[in-house]
Structure formats: C-alpha cells, structure tokens
Chain A
Amino acid sequence: MSATGSSAAIAPVKLWRLAGRIYHEAIYQGSLSAAGSSTQRLLERMTKQSRYITRQALMIQILSSFYLLIVTFLPAVTMAQLSGGATHQWNLFVTTLAGTTHLFVQTGYLMVLTLVATSEILAPDLYRWPESLPLRPEQAGSLRVMALAREFLLPLSVIVVSYPVAAAIASGGLGVAVATLFVSAIHAVMTLSVIVLASWRLRRTLRLASGNDRRATTVRVLTMAGYGIGIIVVVAVMQFGMNFVASLFDDPRMTEVKSLSILRVISVLPFPTSAASFVSALVARRAALPSALPLWIPFLGTCLYGGGALLLLRSAWRLIGRRDTDGDVHPRTVEPLSRAGDQDSASTTLSAPLVVRTPRAAFRRQLFQAATRDTGVLLALLFPLVIPVATLTGPKVSGVPINILLYGGPIMAAVMGGWLLVHGLTRLQVGTGLMEASLPLVERDRAFPRLTLCAIIPAAGVVIAGLVLLPSGLRLEVFLLSTIPVIAVPVGFLVKTSLFGRIRSSKPGRGFTTRVVVEEVYIDHRFFKWVGAITAVLIVAGGFIALRIVLTKVIPGPIGTGIYLAAAALAALILRFTAGRVFPAAAPPRDRHQGEPEDRPQSGDRPEATAGR
C-alpha cells in the first residue's frame, strides 16, 4: 500500500475511525456475497438505515463473543466436578479433554465467522480510497492492523478472559487464574495468527473464485451457516458435552490407575492438548488431589505451544505488513485479460464442456448452487433437518413424557421446518425473475423439485430427532410418523404459492386465465396468507397424528399400521393430483402455422424447444 507523500498526517484517533470504516466495508462485502436473493433487500435496508452495517458489525461481534463465552462452560463445569472419586489420571484426562474441546471449538468457530471478512481486509481493494488520503507510509501500514484489531478486539478479549475466569471460579484460586491467563493469551495469539494465515491463503479463492470452486464453496457455506453452527455447538455443549463429561467422571471402570503414559504424552503435546492439561493440573493441585503428573510436563508443553504461536504470529505479521498485495489480487470487477499467444486462449473449445440436464434437474441444481451463495436458502435447507432435535432436546432433558417427544418431532418438522423451507424455496432471486420470465419454461419444472425437497428434508429431520432422542424400540414408529411432514409441508407449499403467486391474465372478450408461479407476486395481506398456509399444515399434521393415536389405541399392531400407511399413500396421491392441477404440464403443441419453415430451430434442437413438453 502506498501513501501520498504529504507532511500532513492523520491523527491516530482518526486513523482508528478510518480502520473502522474499512472493517465495516469488509462486513458489507461479505454480506453482499452471501445475500443471494436478498441482495436487493439488503441494499434497501442500507438505504433506509444509515447505520445498518455498523449495527450489523456490532451484532456479529456480540453474537460471536456470546458463543465463545458459552463454550467455556464446558471446562468450567468439568473442573468444578473434579473430585477424589476417580483416579487422578482419569480426573486429569477428562478435564484436559473438556479444556481442549473448548479451545478447539473457540478457534474453529471464530475462524468460520471471520474468514471471509478477514480475507477482504487483507486484500488491497478496501485501501484504494484511503491511499488517496495524506497518510504517512507507516500509517498506511498500520491501517490494516487497526482494521484487524477492530474485527478481533472483542472476540479475542472474550477468549483471553473467559478461560481464566472459569478456572478461577472452579478452583477458587487467583494464582490459577493468572496462570490460565497466560495460557489463554497464547491461545488467542495462535487463533488470530491461524485465521490471518488461512485468510491470506484463501483470499484469492474467496474473493475471485470461480462459482464451482469447491474450496471456496465450502468456506462460504460454513461462514454463511456460522450462527447456525454456533447454535448447534451451544446446544451440544450444554446438553450432550456436560452430560458426557459427567458420565465419564462416574464411570466405575476408571477407578483404577490407567494410561499414565498417555496422559504424559498429551500433556507435552503443544497443540491442542498441553494448554488444557496445564490448567487442569493447576486446578487439581489447588484442590489438593493426589498428583501423579509433575507440573513441569504440561508447563513445558504449554511453553512449546507459546513458542509455536509466536512463530505463527511472526508469519502472520509479515503478511499483514506486506505492501505488494496490489499485484497479487485483481480488483473485484476486473478480470485478467487473456495474453496474446496464450495457448489456452488460442483454443477454440472450452476445457470443460457444458452439460445439458433435464429442466427439473437443472432447477434442482440451481437451488443447491443458490444455497452456496444465499444464506437464506442455505438455512432453509439445513434448519429443517435439525429443528426437531434442537427443539426437543430441552424437553427430553427435563424429562417430559415420551409421547410428547414422539409426536412433537413431526409437528416441529412440519410447522417450523416447513415454514422455513417453504419461505426459503420461494424467495425471489436477483433479477426479479425476468430471466425465467423470458424463457419458455413450464412452472411445473421449477415447482416440482421444490415440492420434493419440501417432502424429504423435514421427514429426514423427524428421523434424525427420533434416532437421537428416542429409544431404539420406537424406531418403526418414528419412520411411520416421518410420513407426516412428507404430506403436510408440500400442502403448505401449494397453499402458499397459490395465495402469493396466482397470476390472472385477461384478454378482452376471451375471459380470464390463471396460473401459479413459485415466487411471491402479490404480497398484500402477507400475514393472513402465511396464517392460511401454516393452518393448512397444522390441520394435515394434526389430522395424521390423531389418526395414528386412534389407530394405535383401537387397532394396535400390523393392521393399524397398514391402515395408517394406506391413508398416507392416499393423501400422497391426492397431493400429487393437486400439485398437477396447481402447476399443470405444458399445453400440447398447437396445430397452426408457426412461421416459415426456414425459421424453425436448427437441426439437432430438441422439439421441446418450440413445442410443449
């Protein structure tokens, strides 16, 4: 980065504010790349709320810090449960396991959330305007550091502070807290360095990657699902992690002395175990538990970890300070020109030929591609899978009757999962649908792949919840009840599209014709239309659950199951018939003059190009 050679310089306070603008711009670019069909909505929001991106940036920091804090509960609770009930080796092993998991999750989670924004901050585009300001060269260099500081100050502070506080509460000792502060500071340095190095390596891929680059797609999807992953991790830590650790402590097989050599090895391993092992050993010493592991072993491992973190920081610092990035990354909207004499460019064929699919397969593929660039579509496809298990885990831990869990799964999958899915699959894409409106497509080809997903995904959610939360003896029942969202959610889709997407065309003297499109065309009475769609889902789901309960009580056994399956099959047939009416097949070819023979499509074109499919 170069700066204009002026003796006038910007004050550090103003430089800090300028770095804030760069950080916000990085957030904006990241939001834009994941907005997909919501791009227009995002721009409208920014027009209406002048501080929209500032608030977004703050919200991201607060939410990510919250998740980082919650994860610390795992080692805190584990350390608090240290007792003389089990062997000392086992105590240390369990607390080390919990601490390591916590550190690992913190690094991974912060990386998922910040990779895209950090790659934007490291790229040169955001500094083109500040370059025109009267900055001294060293100020220009520190601008990037400050922008990174704006991004990481709060989450890294949480990482540094949370573990010592947890250790202090668990052990009741200030000395333990101070020692843990040393550990968590090393961990924060390592986390920051790893994120900077990964962002640097991925910056070209993330910012300019081809749409089909798998690495970029994976990172983008993980980033877009970051908050979803956070929620799942929090639920997992709070419910399963702590129960698992508690059960490990109580495991009667572990009362004998075991695996001392393994404990010594993991204590000296710099990453990821030594730091947690050191803290565990400190807490155990404070609790006056008998020690079989000399403290110097995990301390040595932690020092090695610190040395490694400093080496990583040095590499990251060099990259942050590099000023030759202009040559490394092309600006966002300028593609590299093909060089004269380039053998590849001289070729008259593409290296990878294009593939033609059936229209339904093509629209299904388009949906999955949209999920890699549109947070809304991604969450719509992912959340219905986890909603039943996420919403019913709490009640299960609280000990609610098994029937609530059994029938709650299909209800949650159909209503909440169905609502998210139908909403996500009927969002209007950028371009306001004009491209598809200009094509001779049959709406059925767009609607049926969506209907199939509406049936499959919530049903899979019910099965997952059943497998995780219910005893194995109820598996057949779970599979039977998974048919409920298969019927109910597509019903919601049909009702919703019929209410929002019915287009009426009139022709003088020829009456009206109506057709239904997938997207929302008429958004008036939005609330009541959604109430109508969800009510339809509830009626169908409730009806089937009532039928199953009655059949179980009145005709238990295979006959009742057979009647239920027959009812489900009948409902599926009615649904298929109704879907065919709402989204009819193409009209048959018309028997009339269609232009001059020489104007017909070229030989080799499929007849469907001009005739009805």
Chain B
Amino acid sequence: MKIKVSNVTKRYGELVAVSDLSFEVGKGEIFGLLGPNGSGKTTTVKMILGLHDADSGSISVDGTDPAEDARQVKARIGYVAEDSILYASMTPRDTFELIAAVRGIGEEQLNERINQYVVSLDAREIMDKPISTLSRGNRQKAEIIAALLHKPPILILDEPLSGLDAKSVRVFKEILALHVEDGGAVMFSTHILEVAEELCHRICIINAGREIATGTVDELRERSASAGGSLEDVFLKLTEQDTSVDEAVRVLRAGRS
C-alpha cells in the first residue's frame, strides 16, 4: 500500500478533528477523500505529510511513518494545497529552482520536466512573473508543476482544479492518468463531486472527523440506498445534509412569495 491510515485520532484541545479514521490508498489508484468543510480532510493530509502528529493510531507512507521520518515521506509526496502555498513574491522560475535545489533534482531533469509541463499546461508566459500577479488559474498551474517536479510516486491533491480552464483541466486529468498507469497513487480531495465521480477509483466520505463510508461510487450508492443517484445525492445523504438542503430550498422558495 502506498498510504495506510489506521485508526488515527487527532485532537486540538477539546475539539476532535479526526476520530478513529482508517483507509488505504494502493498503487495505481486515485482515492477520493470527500467531506464537508471542517470535516478533518486537511488535518488528515497534514498528518500524512508529517506536519502534524496523530494522537493515536498509525500512518504509513510507502512503509515509512511520517511522525518518525517526515523528510523521507515528503521526498515521496507531491502536494497541492487548497490555498496557494508558494511564495507570492517569487516567480514560478525562482520557485521551481528553489524546489529543485531542496529536492536534489538534476539540472537536466529539471529543465526536461519543466519544458514538458510548461508546454502541456500552457504556462510559458507565467514563468517570470511574480506569483502574486498571476490569476487564480495560472497560480494553480504553478502549484501543480511544483508538486510534480520530482516525479513523486504519491500525489496528494487538495482542490487541484480550482481556477483551471477547460484545456488545463483536460491536460491535468491526462497527467493523473499517466501517473497511475506508471504505478503511482493519488489522494484527491475536492468539493466538485462530478470530478470525484469521474476520476476516483474509490472514495472515502468523512464527516466531523469520522469515516462515514468507503468504496467505489456504486458501492456508496448501494450503501446510501440512492440507486441511480449522483455522487452529490450520495454524499448529501451519507453526511446527513440532505434534510438541511431541503430546508434551505424551502426557505428560499418561501422568500419569493
């Protein structure tokens, strides 16, 4: 298994951010981690990256415990965060050079990969502009290239498609397909459930830090008794948000009259 999360719990004082969570991501798999805002997705990702320690349970990334050797784990992961994590005052060129220096990527490999990604994502024009001046979509392209530069066996992607235009979305999906074809693993988090339905082989839905259900989309449909329903229907039903959505719709309609 590429990523193995076993009975992990994380508390911040009184707040239980993640509770007894378990899942596995295998080779050649795109695994979706879905949940409402504040459900514990980002905390889980940070524990996998070794940025936070779990209070109990265990995490293994390619056989390494991130709490014991975070550097080893980070060397094998490419991470795209929900909010931009690149330095706004630097240009993509400077950022990629810095990342290459830290990750120990050879100059030839770096330029080969950069040319490949920059051309395919149509990002030549942004290379020498400060990241702070880039549009949301172009900033996201820089984030994606930064995560892919070292050809990591594992990708952890938090809302990677935000702001991308249709062509870039298509190219990015192709990048993911090639990645899993080569035996890589992807952990994917998004609020766009149509994308998750299209891309993910398996999905884990969490709410309030707890695992609600894990399986393929069909298995989740079966579990939620939503035969023929979309992943959105399944998600709302499993996270018990369907009734509150109905209530919100009722209020809006009542306000019209």
Contact = CB atoms under 8 A, between A and B. Distances in A.
Interface string A496-507: 000000000111
A591 to B, nearest CB: 12
B135 A334 contact: yes
A interface: dominant SS:
loop
Given A354-B93, A594-B64, A362 B114 contact: no
Contact of A593 (B2, B63, B94): B63
B134 A333 contact: yes
Interface of B: 2, 27, 49, 51, 53, 55-56, 62-64, 67-72, 74-77, 79, 81, 84-91, 93-111, 114-115, 118-119, 122, 124-130, 132-135, 138, 146, 150-151, 153, 183-184
Contact of B101 (A358, A429, A599): A358
A438 B85 contact: yes
A435 B94 CA distance: 13
Name which of B53, B56, B126 has the most chain A CB atoms within 10 A of its CB.
B53
A343 interface: no
Contact of B111 (A353, A362, A429): A353
A584 to B, nearest CB: 12
Interface string A354-387: 1111110111011001100110000000000000
A328 interface: no
B120 to A, nearest CB: 10
A587 B64 CA distance: 15
A587 B71 CA distance: 9
Contacts of A602: 109, 151
Given A350-B115, A350-B127, A608-B104, A431 B88 contact: yes
Given A350-B111, A440-B103, A596-B27, A211 B55 contact: no
Name which of B87, B107, B109, B151 has the most chain A CB atoms within 10 A of its CB.
B87
A363 B98 contact: yes
B202 to A, nearest CB: 20
A377 to B, nearest CB: 10
A434 interface: yes
A370 B89 contact: yes
Contact of B97 (A355, A508, A599): A355
A613 B103 CA distance: 10
A36 interface: yes
Instruction: Assign chain A's interface to a size class.
Output: 35 or more
Contacts of B125: 335-338
Nearest to B67: A507
Contact of B109 (A211, A334, A337, A604): A604
Contact of B94 (A32, A211, A359, A438): A211
B72 to A, nearest CB: 7
Nearest to A442: B71
A445 B135 contact: no
A439 B102 contact: yes
A501 to B, nearest CB: 15
Interface of A: 32-33, 36-37, 39, 208, 210-213, 332-338, 344-345, 348-350, 352-359, 361-363, 365-366, 369-370, 373-374, 429-431, 434-435, 437-442, 445, 505-508, 586-587, 590, 592-596, 598-599, 601-602, 604-610, 612-613
Contacts of B53: 505-507
Contacts of A361: 101
Contacts of B56: 508
Nearest to A586: B71
Contacts of B111: 349-350, 353-354
Given A356-B105, A357-B101, 19 more contacts: A212-B94, A335-B126, A335-B138, A336-B125, A349-B111, A356-B106, A362-B98, A431-B84, A440-B75, A440-B103, A594-B72, A595-B62, A599-B153, A601-B75, A604-B106, A605-B104, A605-B109, A607-B104, A610-B75
6 contacts: A356-B97, A358-B101, A362-B98, A363-B98, A505-B67, A609-B105
B74 A590 contact: no
Nearest to B135: A333
A592 B27 CA distance: 20
Nearest to B86: A435
A357 B96 CA distance: 11
Contacts of A609: 75, 103-105, 150
B51 A39 contact: no
In the A-B complex, list the 7 residue pairs whose CB atoms are closest, starting with the nearest: A210-B128, A362-B101, A211-B91, A606-B104, A595-B62, A608-B104, A440-B74
Nearest to B111: A353
A317 B20 CA distance: 70
Contact of A350 (B2, B103, B114): B114
A595 B96 CA distance: 26
Contacts of B135: 333-335
B58 to A, nearest CB: 10
Contact of B102 (A39, A359, A506, A610): A359
B7 to A, nearest CB: 12
Contacts of A610: 72, 75-76
Contacts of B70: 440
A213 B89 CA distance: 14
A138 B91 CA distance: 40
Contacts of B127: 350
B85 A431 contact: yes
B55 A438 contact: no
Contacts of A594: 62-64, 72
Given A334-B135, A335-B138, A438-B49, A354 B124 contact: no
